[in-house]
Structure 1
Amino acid sequence: MKRREVLERVRRAVPDAYTAGEARAIAFEVAECFCGFSRAEAVADPGAEAVADEGVLEEACRRIAAHVPLQYVTGRTEFYGLPFRVGEGVLIPRPETEELVQWIAADCAGIAGVCLLDIGTGSGAIAVALSRLLVAPTVDAADISPDALVFAAENAAVNGATVHFVQADATAPYDTFAGLLPRHRYDVVVSNPPYIPRSEYASMRDNVRLYEPAGALFVEDADPLLFYREIGHKAARLLDAGGRLFFEVHEDYACGVCKLLSGQGFVGVECRYDMNGKPRMVRCVKE
């Protein structure tokens, strides 16, 4: 099979919900992962023979056609320039979250020995990236999902990051949650919690709503600030004076999160906009 034939086969499998540009990008990624030739090689010599396992390629195309996320099909993604393994049961890290990591890294620049807790770590993206970016940090990370924690531990190992992972529920009583942590004082607490109202479920792409873990995405419309309130309450006790709490937020609730944190006694509450001009990140300080 020629390289051009591999790419065309994958492109034909991509659902109509994707743009032509997205379909082309998916084809290149599948070809590199399963057939061993890069985008540059495909462009330079599309008529070259591709080393392709027909069965493996057919299964990849079948899953693509069924709206399975590309990252689950290939089993890999990239976050902040680092390789991450992902699969069903763990949220795929988004580019917007890289901006949150960048903010934290800049905020802690030049400070050695920062002690950080990532609540709702998922694939470990935030914790692993910051373990690599900060100077001699101590990084702990918690998640309720044992499946996610398997991916997170592997991603830490692959990237040479030292992170202590624990299984814990962010909505549990403080003593229950804190009792599972290896320490009870932190300089930084960060979380990208579930924040999408369930009412938005029907409007989301099938590759997200049908496959990514609902527990990592959705929150009940009746209480959209649940996780911010619970994590804010815990962070108020876990942070040292001057410690900072960072959140990724839903654009519609950024103002509400800021008001909630002010009401919990945090100061210096600041909201930042993401690359798309939406209010998506919040930072505050414990007095």
Structure 2
Amino acid sequence: MSDNYPNAAAECTSTPGENAVRLLLQPRDKDLGGFSVRRLLPTAQCKMVGPWIFFDHMGPADFPPGKGINVRPHPHINLATVTYLFEGEMLHRDSLGSLQAIVPGDINLMVAGRGIVHSERERPEVTAAAHRLHGLQLWLALPEADEEIEPAFHHYPGESIPTRTVDGVPLRVMMGSAYGATSPVKTFADTLYVEAHLRKGQRLSLPNAAERALYVVSGALKMEDTNLPEHAMAILSDGSNLVVEAEAESRIALIGGEPLGQRFIDWNFVSSRKERIEQARSDWREGRFPKVPGDEEEFIPLPG
């Protein structure tokens, strides 16, 4: 999705001492005309968690007939986008000619590499009736050696994502390896993305990674002496044996992985090089990016 709401930055709270939670991020909600987006990453205090550089929680948004998501074509470079829905459906188109509806449980991985353009809309059959959309959109920075690879699009049906039950907690290993399972979703660096659904009172030991963050999609949890309210993201300290306990029925998303070094972000562009971002801005302004087949008429102008 296009980063056309740059002021939706999260606020941070530090936690004292040797607490398992190093920072607690609280998002600012941004209303995009009946569609609520919560931005958690990046922030001034925490720009990345492992390779993850962008984290948006979309909705849940309820649309009347005739309304829905309608994101015009826009570009990306030097990153990969990950889209995952809890409810609803989105229609992905890109400049490679990909046309893919994503439904709950599926994972869409779009690798921008040297440059890609995509749009996110909904099928007429979906917008014809009242409907709801709810999900996560995340961006992964690519390692420097992979920033300029050929763009690609990968779709993973929900049944291909491994599931586990750990201490009674059902979970899915969306990317990377955890709990004895390895996701088929392509990665470019050590990457972790796990989703779990806890009942009140259940506890879950978290897998290790060089860097980790826990997002509370819904519900409320506790880790040691820190309360984790709904829609908060806990940036976790180093160390193993971190356990989270649900104080209400809760859905969580755990992200993490290896740090990749400094990245610059400007609009929809992420790169290790400022000059590469300036080139991408110029290319979009001058119409040098490829078109999206079937969606050639509209586009999002370069901000500013």
Q: Which structure dedicates a bigger proportion of its chain to strand?
A: 2
Q: Which structure dedicates a bigger proportion of its chain to helix?
A: 1
Give the alignment's TM-score, normalised by structure 2. Answer: 0.27
RCO comparison, higher one (Cα < 8 Å, 6+): 2
Give the alignment's TM-score, normalised by structure 1. Answer: 0.28
